[in-house]
Amino acid sequence: MFADISLSMAPYELIFLGTGGGRFATLTQKRRTAGIRILGEDLNLHLDPGPGALVYSISEGLDPQKLNAVFVSHCHPDHYTDAEVLIEAMTIGMTKKRGMLAASKSVLKGSSVCEPSISKYHQQMPEKVVEAVPNMKFQVANIGVSVTEARHTDPDAVGFRFETKEYGDFAYTSDTEYFEGIGKYYEGARLLMLCVMRPAGKPWKGHMTTEDAVKIVEEARPEQAVLTHLGMQMIFQGPAKEAKLIEEKTGVATTAALDGMRINFGENIKIQVKSAKTQQELNQFF
């Protein structure tokens, strides 16, 4: 059961099936690495389906055969490993050409740093395949998508901004380091999900630290910021503490995502965790 059962169903729901990222969070599953499910009236999308995406979809009561879109931001395993099996589910066991696959060039075609992450066999089954490059726009179900720039160890990595007609935008940075101009991609987005791998004072090339997140949040000024894709050092440091630091410095409401957390996105943005006890226990250890 979720803690706030009085919440009415919002037009969009974001479910954090996994909030971990990086090699050691993936290998230990200290935090799950299953990505994010995004649900709307005509939308059932899995974003960055890393290890565990299939299993945790099912455990959370989310039938993978109801998917109509799979998005993959770049060619690293913690973002793509379950993409093929979710495509198989989306296409009803590869029997029906349906749904959309949107992925970076590296995922679809390979690059100087990686081979293609999704086979040609699987790429032929979605009804539409989009090679996502920065600044392009396309439609999925009834919402618009803008592809945002990311600067990462996969040079083709991208983020995504989702544009709803009635309720404004929500966005996902994917893995990226801070660079001048990144905030412009997210200006005016009501909800901003940032992949913050490292805590303050622990920089790592191609990734975001808490200090980088502060800069982006200050530039974008969302209504709500959410930290996800947390690396081991961030987990040990305490994501809730780092979120509080960002909120204090920017004045923007900031939450560190928890595995299984849900966000209702509509006229209001409301965050649900499984129970107050679970939240308290996780904050104690993380």
Where residue 38 sits, what CATH number does that domain have? 3.60.15.10
* Dist. CA 81–CA 72, nearest whole Å: 10
* Dist. CA 229–CA 237, nearest whole Å: 14
Residue 68 counted as domain residue: yes
How much is the pTM?
0.92
Tens digits of residue pLDDT in 58-97: 999 999 999 999 999 999 999 999 999 999 999 999 999 9
Specify the number of domains making up the chain.
1
- The pLDDT of 143-147, averaged and rounded, is 98
Report the chain's mean pLDDT, rounded to a whole number.
92
Picking from 223, 163, 219, 218, the residue whose alpha carbon sits closest to that of residue 192 is 223
Give me the percent of the chain exceeding a pLDDT of 70.
Answer: 93
Evaluate if residue 200 carries a pLDDT over 90.
no
Give the domain range for residue 116. Answer: 12-285
Token readout for 63 is 């039938």
Question: Where in the chain does DSSP place strands (E)?
Answer: 12-16, 36-39, 44-47, 69-72, 100-104, 128-132, 137-140, 143-149, 158-164, 168-172, 191-198, 208-209, 224-228, 253-256, 262-265, 269-272
Name the burial class of residue 152, with classes exposed (0-12), middle (13-18) and buried (19+) by CB atoms within 10 angstroms of its CB: buried
The predicted structure's pLDDT at residue 206? 82
* More confident position, 250 or 286: 250
Evaluate if residue 105 carries a pLDDT over 70.
yes
Residue 84 counted as domain residue: yes
Residue 188 counted as domain residue: yes
Q: How far is CA 144 from the centre of its chain?
A: 17
Report the DSSP beta bridge partners of residue 47.
Answer: 36, 71
Residue 4 counted as domain residue: no
Tens digits of residue pLDDT in 25-61: 999 999 999 999 999 999 999 999 999 999 999 999 9
Contact between 227 and 242 (Cβ < 8 Å)? yes
Residue 7 counted as domain residue: no
Angle, helices 210-220/239-250, rounded to nearest 10 degrees: 40
Residue type, 145: V
Residue 1 counted as domain residue: no
Residue 99 counted as domain residue: yes
Picking from 242, 191, 246, 259, the residue whose alpha carbon sits closest to that of residue 220 is 191
Confidence band of 9 (pLDDT split at 50, 70, 90): low
